[in-house]
Amino acid sequence: MSALRSLICVPTYNEADNIALIIQEIFRFVPESCDILIVDDGSPDGTAEIVERLRVQNSRLHILNRTHKNGLAAAYLAAFNWGLQRGYDWIFEMDADFSHNPRHLKEFFQTIENGNSDAVLGSRYVKGGGISNWSKERLLLSRCGSIYARSILRYDLKDWTGGFNAWSRKVLEAIDLPSIQSKGYAFQIELKYRSLNRNFRLTEIPIVFEERRAGESKMSGSIVKEAIFGVLSLKLREHV
């Protein structure tokens, strides 16, 4: 498997029921050159304390403790900066709740090793991908969001809002992370759009998105609205 230094970034807020097992499962499917960074937003349920205990026994596990819940985009930006400062070649985004199944990480690394991609995107909407245990309404909303983004932004990505992704160092250094304005799921759209505008090669691989195993969903109406209505604003303000 790949000798490139890679970092799996996992934002958490109240994931005590999932965190130990997701860490164990991630390490099952990644090479020895890959570390995990947990980005905890001050979880009151003891998520960070569990990670602190686990990292005593594993030097490849790290934690970035943040004082309060400040949104998914802010957590990932902090994680990207942490990883870039420490010289990682590839930095991943991944949920803690098993909606992103760690078994797909093998396909991510195989695609990276092929050397033809600057970013690898886990896609629910390419052949072989899918969604498990969603309502028809939620599935329709997600599909429509990606279709809408594709029609406005004029790039043929199938899954614009998916958050299971791997970014090469050169992409993250080129897309001006401090100037990103989007929050929530629109953050994923902006990362992809900026990367495509700069002619990077983005490869979609199939994943099956699964409903979380434990805890409560972080999905909210405001996040969905931003992902839909923020696309036009992104198109208007983003320049190569």
Q: What is the pLDDT of residues 153-207, one digit of tens each?
A: 989 999 998 999 999 999 999 999 999 988 877 899 999 999 999 999 999 999 9
Beta 165-168 vs 90-93: how paired, if at all?
antiparallel
CATH architecture of residue range(s) 6-237: Alpha-Beta Complex (3.90)
More confident call, 131 vs 233? 131
pLDDT at position 188 is: 93
Rounded alpha-carbon distances, angstroms, from residue 152 to 113, 191, 204, 228, 230: 32, 15, 19, 11, 11
Query: Which residue in 164, 163, 145, 146 sits closest to 155, CA to CA?
Result: 146
Tens-place pLDDT, residues 123-164 = 999 999 999 877 777 777 777 777 888 888 989 999 998 999
Q: Which long-range contacts (CB under 8 A, 24 or more apart) does 225-229 make?
A: 226/182, 226/183, 226/184, 226/185, 226/186, 227/145, 227/149, 227/161, 227/184, 227/185, 227/186, 227/189, 228/144, 228/145, 228/148
pTM score above 0.75: yes
The burial of 138, by beta-carbon neighbours within 10 Å (0-12 exposed, 13-18 middle, 19 or more buried), is given as middle
Report the sign of the C-alpha dihedral through residues 237, 232, 93, 200, in that order.
negative
List the chain domain ranges. Answer: 6-237
Whether residue 215 has pLDDT greater than 80? no
Q: Of 71, 85, 76, 7, nearest to 42 (Cα)?
A: 71
| Average pLDDT of the residues in 29-39 | 98
